[in-house]
Amino acid sequence: MSELRPVRLPALSATMESATLIRWLVDTGDTVVEGQSIAEVETDKVEMELESPYAGAIATLSAAAGAVVALGAEIASIQTEQTDFLGSLLAPAADEIDSEPNPLPAPHQPPPEVEQPDPLSTIFPAVPAARHNAKKAGIDLSKVVPTGRRGQVTTNDVRKAQGYVDLVPQPLESSGRSRSTELPSTKYWAESAQIPQAALFRELTLSTVNQARQGRSWTTVVAVATAGALRRHPAFARYWLSSSQQLGTHDSVRVGVGLNRPGRGLVVVSLPDLDMADADEADQRVRAAMERCRTGKLHLDDLLTPSMTVCNLGHLGVERFNTTVMPGQSGTVSLGAVARRPVVDHQQSLTVGLTATIGLTVDQRAVDAAEGGRFLASIAEFLDRLWSTTQGPLVSS
């Protein structure tokens, strides 16, 4: 049976509170399939395409281009024959709706027992990203206060359950398109400032690596070596949970690649298992991710929390720098400018070689500085070993 169902703005990232509707990709009366892109929206400094949750015909478009839409607000409606599973979980059944108050139990009869839901078997309505983040953080969804428009748990609800503090949004100056809240990265830096951090540095000699990389980006080279080091040092899969004052663990090896977009700040895209790919595939994936960062066309999978982030400011002439640790990670890698500098070779002679300074900032609640030093040593080893061949997976051992 065909029904008119609303399309609401979903949570597209962990910090999203609203989004700016850039433009519609459909018009009223258009037929769409489930998963088809119907609009472009901007949130958390990036632009993404919003997909249709149903197959059917566009009945109404409720938001105009340029409008700032709150999380969970209705932006369109679709005439569809599909079932709204989340809505059916939240809405009362027809036989539960009664204009009269519930009758009292008959005299001398105890009130009927109400069976309490089993939190291990009950499905609690939550957006997929919130469910994923809650599972990773070990948070029981039944104990999270939902604020979604239809009673569902949002990603912000999970963040609050983890102990993150929401800052008061501040207005931004517009640069061609209206925006109403502060850059989400401000929240991360405020939280990061509370982390006890240690900054470590190591000088790298890269002449041999430069010959083997064959034009592949230095960001790829370091990101792959970082993935290999993460696999060798499982301690860096841990991260500190402020809410419970204990450690959580990432269940996969994901390296974040950071890119600074002028006027937008740091944008991080998350890439899994880079060390399991061959050199060309790894470079293609990193370059494609950086292009998505530049254009703001990130995918939802790009926004998953990485185990560690790599930031490269060498192209700006920065010799060395330390980055702050992002919440949800145990460390951040920095790469300074790769340039020809005086070095001492194996014969103890002064010569000129290609060098760079790599840095590692660690959250000392999750790992100590000594383990960080061993992690940097592994990166240096993998830079030489992984890029000595360009064929086959760059698997670390």
One-letter amino acid for residue 244 of the chain: S
Helix (H, G, I), strand (E, B) or coil at 140: coil
Whether residue 70 is contained in a domain is answered as no
Cβ atoms of 231 and 396 within 8 Å: the answer is yes
d(CA 304, CA 295) in angstroms, rounded, equals: 18
How many helices (H) and strands (E) in the chain? 8, 17
pLDDT of 119 reads 41
Beta carbons within 10 angstroms of residue 301's beta carbon: 11
| 3-state class (DSSP) for residue 34 | coil
The Cα 305–Cα 307 span in angstroms is 7
Query: 129 vs 154, 169, 362, 394, CA distance in Å?
Result: 8, 22, 26, 30
Q: Does residue 117 lie within any of the structural domains? A: no
Residue 142 within any structural domain of the chain: no
Q: Report if residue 281 sits inside a domain.
A: yes
The predicted pLDDT at position 129 comes to: 63
- Give dist(CA 375, CA 233) in Å, integer: 7
Give, for all 397 residues of the chain, the pLDDT tens digit: 788 989 988 876 656 678 889 899 999 999 999 888 899 888 766 777 888 888 899 999 999 988 998 888 899 999 988 665 444 333 333 333 333 333 434 444 444 444 444 443 345 567 666 777 777 777 887 778 776 655 677 766 776 676 543 322 223 233 333 333 333 455 666 778 888 999 999 999 998 889 888 889 999 999 999 999 999 999 999 988 877 788 888 888 999 998 877 666 778 889 999 988 888 899 999 999 888 877 777 777 787 889 999 999 998 999 999 888 988 899 999 999 999 999 888 888 899 999 999 999 999 999 999 999 999 999 999 988 766 554 445 544 4
Residue 325 falls within a domain, yes or no? Answer: yes
**Among candidate residues 326, 311, 323, 309, the one with its CA nearest the CA of residue 194:** 326
Which residues are registered as beta bridge partners of 46? Answer: 43
Domain membership of residue 273 (yes or no) is yes
Q: Tally Cβ neighbours within 10 Å of residue 216.
A: 19
Q: Which two tokens stand for residue 199?
A: 């900054």
What is the structure's pLDDT at 155? Answer: 66
The pLDDT value given to residue 89: 36
Residue 167 domain-assigned (yes or no): no
Provide the pLDDT for residue 304: 82
- With beta carbons less than 8 A apart as the criterion, state whether 222 and 312 touch: yes
Residues whose CB falls within 8 Å of the CB of residue 197, separated by 6 or more in sequence, listed in order: 324, 325, 361, 362, 363, 364
- Asked if 79 and 64 touch (Cβ cutoff 8 Å), the reply is no
Q: Which domain holds residue 226?
A: 191-386
Domain presence at residue 80:
no
CATH of the domain at 351: 3.30.559.10
Q: What length does the chain have?
A: 397
Alpha-helical runs (H) found in 8-163 = 85-90, 128-137, 155-161
Q: What are the angstrom distances between the C-alpha of 74 and each of 7, 44, 65, 197?
A: 6, 20, 14, 43
Please give the Cα distance from 130 to 11 (Å, whole number).
Answer: 8
Number of domains observed in the structure of the chain: 1
Type of residue found at 88: S
What's the pLDDT at 217? 92
> What pLDDT score was predicted for residue 40?
87
